[in-house]
Amino acid sequence: MNHRSIYDIFKKRKSNRFFDKTKKIPRKKILSILENANYAPNSCNLQHFSFILVDQKQLITKLAKESTEKINWSPMTLVAINDTRFSKKRSAGIQSVAASIQNIILSFEENKMGACWIAGFKNDQFIKDTLNIPKYYEITGLIIIGYKKKRIKDDYRPFKRKKDELLHVNSYDNDKKNINPSLFLHKWKFNELIEYKDRIGSVYIPRQKLNVYTHQIAKSSSDIFLNFITKNFLNTSKMDILDIATYEGSFVREINKKIKTNLYISEFSDYYLSLYKKIYKKIKTIKINKEYKIVSIRKKKFNFISLIFKIEFLPNIKKLLSETYKITHKNGYMYITSLTIFNLRCLFYLAQRLMPKSNVYEMNRLYQFGPYRYFTKYNIEKMIKESNWKIVEKGVEGKFFNKFNWWILKKY
């Protein structure tokens, strides 16, 4: 007998994306869980939604290929369908299916099984044809289900707002935190940027998956850095390196794998700092504020500062360059990398800005990073020249879509 309260289940449930693919949930069990969909409130009790269980391997492969690879993550998928002939006003049909899906998902958690609600899929017509779904149905969502695969990395909840951010009393309160849809960085307040990254990045960062640049780019940018420090520093184990606005951490991971140094990760948000403490047990963390000042330790200086593919996503670079200068030892360095316009994702992003309807999330390949602004190589060098830093080495690395610019600056 399970004595967990429904509140425990709300808190315990999180989207599960890693399944034991060798083990299917018995059909009888699925049916008993699905029954709970019926107990959800729904528009005028019409109950015009249903679920199709897909558990045949060939069918899963076929749908995954044409619709979304996510179907392949689990040994079975429920396809939630809604009869669109009813409950059109206020999307009441969709509201009803959504309520029933939530009941199902919580019931899987109650049974200690995994589920993930999926709306990121394409080719609805292909799914409909393959599963013989009548034309008046829409596919509202997919739910991938199965037994959870235990992974340490998955032990983190995505960021959740504090409860008092959720509720407005008697009238809309403009002071509550919100996210900004604008694609233009200059329209964002710094707090909005942090809030956005807390919300969205926390879905991907525990999986270390942000995909803004390829692994090849991450690797070559760390190789340039490693070459430089092995040439210029006799004892790398005594070096203090600070990575600015670490976020997805691909650079620090590479460095940490290859050499022994005192590596510091820095971020603006408490969420990431506590997450990093758990993920990178041996790397130290530092909190910085919107003025790029260190707030968590005092009077610390570094031999090297790195700013890896973040310059385009951060406001006030002038300030960043002057603050990093202050916290670097004399004869210390800074390493900057920046994607070129040939990166397809950046090009795509810039094209989006011409479309008035696009927002920072939907259809935007850089959405996990937030608003992006393109800097030419000339723009970046101009900002460096206006600072106290001096460029000592620079270059362009990679071919075609993997091309990026890099600079090593020195404090004399």
Ligand X SMILES: Cc1cc2nc3c(=O)[nH]c(=O)nc-3n(C[C@H](O)[C@H](O)[C@H](O)COP(=O)(O)O)c2cc1C
Q: Which residue ranges make up the site for ligand X (CB under 6 A)?
A: 14-15, 17, 70, 116-120, 158, 203
CB of 372 to ligand X, least distance (A): 22
CA atoms within 13 A on the CB side of 103: 19
CB of 30 to ligand X, least distance (A): 20
Q: Which is nearer to ligand X, 206 or 398 (CB)?
A: 206
φ, ψ (nearest 5 deg) of residue 374? -85, 130
CB of 243 to ligand X, least distance (A): 25
Q: Which is nearer to ligand X, 73 or 147 (CB)?
A: 73
Q: Which amino acid is at 90?
A: R
Q: Which is nearer to ligand X, 14 or 21 (CB)?
A: 14
Q: Which is nearer to ligand X, 81 or 307 (CB)?
A: 81
Count other Cβ atoms within 10 Å, centred on residue 349.
Answer: 25
φ, ψ (nearest 5 deg) of residue 365? -65, -20
In order, the DSSP letters of 241-281 are EEETT-TT-HHHHHHHHH---EEEEEES-HHHHHHHHHHST
Confirm if 279 and 153 have CB atoms less than 8 A apart. yes
Report d(CA 367, CA 204) in Å as an integer: 11
Q: Which residue is nearest to ligand X (CB)?
A: 120
CB of 411 to ligand X, least distance (A): 41
CB of 360 to ligand X, least distance (A): 16
| CA dihedral sign, ordered 221, 224, 226, 232 | negative
CB of 391 to ligand X, least distance (A): 41
Q: Of the candidates 57, 58, 102, 56, which has an alpha carbon nearest to the alpha carbon of residue 80? A: 102
Output b/e per residue, 76-90; b: 16+ Cβ within 10 A: bbbbbbbbeebbeee
Q: Which is nearer to ligand X, 17 or 373 (CB)?
A: 17
Q: Which is nearer to ligand X, 158 or 315 (CB)?
A: 158
Q: CA angle, corner 43, sides to 37 and 49, nearest 5?
A: 45
Q: Which amino acid is at 289?
A: N
CB of 219 to ligand X, least distance (A): 26
Q: Which is nearer to ligand X, 4 or 293 (CB)?
A: 4
Q: Which is nearer to ligand X, 361 or 401 (CB)?
A: 361
Distance of CA 42 to the CA centre of its chain: 32
CB of 368 to ligand X, least distance (A): 12
